[in-house]
């Protein structure tokens, strides 16, 4: 890894749920949790995948108009970074990110998981009179 420039601030650890609401957009590796945290914070997103399911999440972000096409890490360049930032600055992209965030906030994941769990059980037989 190259030495950082004086205008780059390195941060060891920072919770996404604190950081992302303070960002105009996010550029990250595309892990499921990081992607969800950025989108929940209404951030247009650029994914730079390098492993596993990261390309999938980048494709999902792009398909929904929430960010540009993923930039595989081996193809990353200044030109592609600038293009991605310009894409994310489009007000329509921000509007879509806000809309998705509102839907995510309304979603009750625990209740949905419980319902999905109980759907797998057979319904009890009702007593016949």
56-72 pLDDT, tens digit each: 999 999 999 999 999 99
Reported pTM: 0.81
pLDDT by residue (tens digit) across 3-22? 777 877 778 889 999 999 99
- State yes or no: pLDDT of 128 exceeds 80: no
Q: Which of 85, 47, 49 is nearest to 63 (CA)?
A: 47
Computed on alpha carbons and rounded to an integer, the radius of gyration of the chain in Å comes to 19
Q: CA 116, CA 13: separation in Å to the nearest integer?
A: 35
Q: 16-93: what fold?
A: Rossmann fold (3.40.50)
The domains of the chain are located at 16-93
Half-sphere exposure of 34 (CA within 13 A, CB side): 17
């Amino acid at each position: 890894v190259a030495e950082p420039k004086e205008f780059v601030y390195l941060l060891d650890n920072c919770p996404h749920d604190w950081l992302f609401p303070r960002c105009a957009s996010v550029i990250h590796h595309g892990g499921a949790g990081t992607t969800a945290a950025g989108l929940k914070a209404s951030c247009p997103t650029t994914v730079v995948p390098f492993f596993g399911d990261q390309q999938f999440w980048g494709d999902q972000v792009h398909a929904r108009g929430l960010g540009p096409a993923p930039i595989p890490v081996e193809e990353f360049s200044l030109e592609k970074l600038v293009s991605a930032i310009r894409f994310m600055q489009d007000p329509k992209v921000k509007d879509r990110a806000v809309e998705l965030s509102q839907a995510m906030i309304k979603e009750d994941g625990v209740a949905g998981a419980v319902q999905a769990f109980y759907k797998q059980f057979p319904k009890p037989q009702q007593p016949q009179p």
